[in-house]
Amino acid sequence: MGPFRPDLLKGKTVLVTGGATGLGRAMAEGFARHGASIALAGRREEKLQEAAEAFREAGHDVFVQSCDVRDPSSLSALADALDERFGGVDVLVNNAAGNFISPTERLSPRAVDAVLNIVLHGTFYATLEFGKRWIAAGRGGTMLNIVTTYAETGSGFVAPSAAAKAGVLALTRSLAVEWARYGIRQVAIAPGPFPTEGAWARLAPTPELAERMADRIPLKRVGDKQELADLAAFLVSDYASYLNGEVVTIDGGEWLQGAGQFNSLLEVTPEQWDRLAELTRTGGKGQ
């Protein structure tokens, strides 16, 4: 059981890009459990069919269509199909992404484009396609953009992703103001590490790297997909209708741990603290 009423999203149709796998799928399942009709889009037909079957088995209303967010005509065909099937959508979740760790100096221009085209251009194209339709139809809507904590800070070894997600965050905040007059609301989630097949294969492909992910987090664990799905359900619901342009971080305190200058003192033992307490009281001379 989640924290919300089962009819929280009743009457809403939600499109999740990249919704057949990982966090997109977990969010979509959460929306469906709260009464929403669901549309999933992604490039791989077999992943979409697999997800559709699971949704239908659970008794949920689902529509899937293969779509490449890098291709505006593919998005337009998807939007046409959704107009026909549901009479349009109420919520767009820009979740599709591409990423991998690499020293930046090893990247080719094509490698940079591979990430920027999905994350920044794909999100922008989907936003344009559905935003224009909502404006033309005089109906409002909610856009939920999935970014990362390092969209604010930047991060080495994922520079294309950091640059692209920072762009998506800027888009979120720009349109929060510009499109509010059309009844279009913008929100974002910045997740810390949540193990998914897609992310772990490209960002933590060894057990050592995976362990390091959890170690950095003050709560000493990675996120549970359900925690993210519950946050997303609230943010796209009418109960969040005054939230606009906000990015909500869900990372167990990870990014703050990296930011605070003295946070590495978490490693100091109680005995070491006894000694340090003497030194800090005696100007570093001790007893």
List residues with catalytic annotation: 150
**Residue 95 near which of ligand HXC, ligand NAP, none (CB within 5-8 Å, type-dependent):** ligand NAP
Rounded least distance, CB 116 to ligand HXC, Å = 10
Q: Which of 108, 85, 197, 104 is nearest to 158 (CA)?
A: 104
Residues between 17 and 56 that touch ligand NAP (CB under 6 A): 17-18, 20-24, 42-44, 47
- Size of the residue set binding ligand HXC (CB under 6 A): 17
Residue whose CB is less far from ligand HXC, 92 or 116: 116
Measured from the CB atom, the residue of 76 and 102 that comes closer to ligand HXC is 102
189 binds ligand HXC (CB under 6 A): no
The 72-111 contact track toward ligand HXC, x by CB under 6 A, reads -------------------------xxxx-x-----x-xx
Member of 52, 54, 77, 114 binding ligand HXC (CB under 6 A): 114
Is residue 161 near ligand HXC by the rule CB under 6 A?
yes
Among ligand NAP, ligand HXC, none, what binds residue 68 when CB lies within 5 to 8 Å by partner kind? ligand NAP
Q: 100 contacts which partner out of ligand NAP, ligand HXC, none, CB within 5 to 8 A by kind? A: ligand HXC
Nearer to ligand NAP, 23 or 82 (CB): 23
Interacting span for ligand NAP (CB under 6 A) from 96-104, 132-140, 229-237, 274-282: 96-104
Residue 135 or 156: the one with the smaller Cβ distance to ligand NAP is: 156
Write the DSSP assignment of the chain as a string of letters: --SS-TTTTTT-EEEEETTTSHHHHHHHHHHHHTT-EEEEEES-HHHHHHHHHHHHHTT--EEEEE--TT-HHHHHHHHHHHHHHHSS-SEEEE---------GGG--HHHHHHHHIIIIIIHHHHHHHHHHHHHHHT--EEEEEE--THHHH--TT-HHHHHHHHHHHHHHHHHHHHTGGGTEEEEEEEE-----HHHHHHH--SHHHHHHHHHT-TTSSPPPHHHHHHHHHHHHSGGGTT--SEEEEESTTHHHHHHSTTGGGGG--HHHHHHHHHHHHTTT---
